[in-house]
Amino acid sequence: MRDGVSKKSAWWKRILKFVVFSPIKVIFILALLYFGAQAYLFDPSFTSKTAFFLVVGLWILVTLVKHVLFIIVVLGILGGGAWWYYQYSHQEQKQCEEQGGYWNSNTQVCEEKVSPMGKFKKIFDKVTQDKINSK
């Protein structure tokens, strides 16, 4: 006897849980039952069947929109996480550029910005210094 009572209460709990947590689905199920009964049992006219299929189409549309919004939210969270990681990982480079320097990605060091002529002069000074030291 006890098992029969617990199974009944389990069904009622499941139905109540479904109604509480899925009110939109409950509304669509009730609308489908109503318009389906009207279209195929009580008033088999074109208008009743059209109303039934409009409810079916609306339910499909709501389900698709819900899933698309979920995908958009997930992609937004992933994109925000990627942007945050990029900002965090390039923090030193941004500070270097804000201070007017040049970030050398090979040595991972902030260097002073030098014009092409300044680079040529630096290389020329290094070569001449090497020649002077080698004598």
CA distance 84 to 91: 11
User: How do the residues of the chain divide into helix, strand and coil, expressed in percent and rounded to 5?
Assistant: 80, 5, 10
Print pLDDT tens along the chain (135 aa): 455 555 666 877 887 777 787 788 888 888 898 999 988 888 888 888 999 999 999 999 999 999 999 999 999 999 999 999 999 988 888 888 888 888 887 887 888 777 778 778 888 888 888 777 776
Cα–Cα distance between 37 and 40 in angstroms, integer?
5
pTM surpassing 0.75? no
The domains of the chain are located at 2-89, 101-135
